Amino acid sequence: MSTNYQLKRADFIFKNENDWEEVLSKSISRPPQELINELISSELKGRGGAGFPTGLKWKVSSEVKSDVKYVICNADEGEPGTFKDREILSMVPFKVLTAIAICGYVIGAKEGFIYLRGEYNFLRPELLKAINEFEYYCKEIKLDFSIKIFMGSGAYICGEETALFESMEGKRGEPRNKPPYPTLSGYMGKPTVINNVETLAHTYTIFKYGSKRFYDLGVQYSRGSKLFSVSGDTPKPGIYELELGMSLSDFVEEFGDDDTKAVQVGGASGFLVPRKRFSETNIGFQGKLVGISLPTGGSMMLFNSSRSMYNVLDNYLNFFAEESCGQCTPCRVGCQQLLKGIKAVKRGEKNAQYLDKMLKLAETMQVTAKCGLGQSVGNSFSSIVENFREEMIY
């Protein structure tokens, strides 16, 4: 085992800072444009997994003319292996509330929502208390802004932003066509900024310390730190804040159990990386010149050699088949066919070449499915089948 690995820890998100009142009042005394520029120069990208530049999102929404706009904090954390948002909301709720209100000030919204997944219902009482205290302070400084909690009811797909709007509007959580994007037409057809919990928490850091402090962390195209939810075959499961851009081999050195066979980066909708590719894989957004860059919402699941990758894939596909909203055919039928297909190959009812047919189906789903759920089923499917083909057959 080499000893010169470099895993850069960071400590911003969970740092205990009792200065949200100051951060809020200072931020809203600055011109909105200045705050947007701060975000843009920090190069913060969405921490939910998609990685859209946050500053740009706020900028577009701020430029749209509308009497009513909304800010929504996406706390529908459903990706298997992700549990950071729950921790943020229970440990540092005021950072998130402050960021929601600052966003409201920047884009000109008077209402904010936290869409909290039903599984996290137990967080609600404490969060409500925090919101009360927060709104009380807003009144004191004459900031006209309110925050409400909207509870989900156990649907993974509602983490998809447009499905989330549908759900808030009292409908089935079925994703909409894009465009129009939420920045123009979101909740109730009004311009809406929707950000992940962690993204908002990072904006707090940026508004407090300035963009440079954030930008100095990480690597090119992947600036700043990020929370990682570490689980699976690891001696130290938990939540860790690390700088982006690390190589997967450094990560495994720190978190593996000396027998790590593969790591699932980005949850069931992400990619499975086998041991032989650890050193060439980096964790961050696309754009690095060397090696492969994998973006992630922060889910890192480790598997050691006692695990069957067939069982892993079977578990994922069951998940997707259940959580697919059923609206578009590629996803509704595709998930079920992939699941049936791997079972048939395993039982010998189909020959091994059937796997290649399924890889094509997964590719078709990537191209034709309506939303991110259906499009990303192929990520884990292809990366598992291609790297562990023999485990699928025997």
Partner 1 sequence: MKPIIELIKELADKHGRNRHSLLPILQGVVEQERYLSEYSMIEIARELDIPATEVYGTATFYTFLDYKKMGRNIIRVCKTITCSMKGEKQIMLAIEDMLKIKIGETTQDGLFSLLQTNCLGLCHKAPAMLINNEVYTDLTPEKIREILTMYMNRKDEGENNVN
The residues binding partner 1 (CB under 8 A) are 77-83, 85-86, 117-122, 150-156, 167-173, 188, 229-233, 237-239, 264, 268, 301, 303, 307, 311-312, 315-316, 319, 322-323, 325
Least distance (Å) from partner 1 to the CB of residue 186?
13
The DSSP letter of residue 78 is -
Measured in whole angstroms, the distance separating CA 134 from the mean position of its chain's CA atoms is 26
Give min distance, CB of 313 to partner 1, in A: 10
Question: Is the distance from CB of 296 to CB of 250 less than 8 angstroms?
Answer: no
Read off the tokens for 45: 């990208």
- Closest approach of partner 1 to the CB of residue 244, in Å: 21
> Among the residues of the chain, which ranges form H helices?
20-27, 32-42, 54-63, 84-91, 93-107, 124-140, 161-168, 197-209, 211-215, 248-255, 309-323, 329-347, 354-368, 372-387, 389-393
C-beta closer to partner 1: residue 55 or 256: 256
Q: Which is nearer to partner 1, 92 or 312 (CB)?
A: 312
Q: At closest approach, how far in Å is the CB of 131 from partner 1?
A: 16
- The encoded tokens of residue 292 equal 């492969």
The smaller minimum CB distance to partner 1, of residues 267 and 284, is found at 267
Contacts (Cβ under 8 Å, ≥6 apart) of 253: 1, 2, 5, 7
How many Cβ atoms from other residues are within 10 Å of residue 391's Cβ?
17
Q: Least CB distance from residue 86 to partner 1, whole Å?
A: 5
Burial class (CB in 10 A: 0-12, 13-18, 19+), 25: middle
Complex with partner 1: residue 315 or 329, whichever CB lies closer: 315
Smallest gap from Cβ 169 to partner 1, in A, equals 5
CB 338 within 8 A of CB 348: no
CA distances (Å), origin 221, targets 78, 286, 320: 26, 7, 30
* Cβ distance to partner 1 smaller for residue 39 or 131: 131
Residue identified by tokens 């000396």 is 258
Instruction: Pick the closest to residue 23 from 211, 207, 214, 215 (CA basis).
Output: 207
**CA–CA distance, 226 with 242 (Å, rounded to integer):** 6
Minimum Å gap between C-beta 172 and partner 1 is 4
Tokens of residue 176, six digits: 């909409």
137 or 156, CB closer to partner 1?
156
**Residue placing its CB nearer to partner 1 in the complex, 229 or 282:** 229
197: amino acid identity, one letter: V
CB of 324 to partner 1, least distance (A): 12
Peptide bond into 237 cis (omega under 30): no
CB of residue 157 to partner 1, shortest distance in Å: 9
Which residues are within 8 A (CB) of 129 and not within 5 positions of it... i.e. 6 or more apart? none
CA nearest neighbour of 184 among 196, 176, 193: 193
319 or 388, CB closer to partner 1?
319
Residue 233 C-beta: closest distance to partner 1, Å: 8
Closest CB to partner 1 among 286 and 311?
A: 311
Residue 220 or 315 with smaller CB distance to partner 1: 315
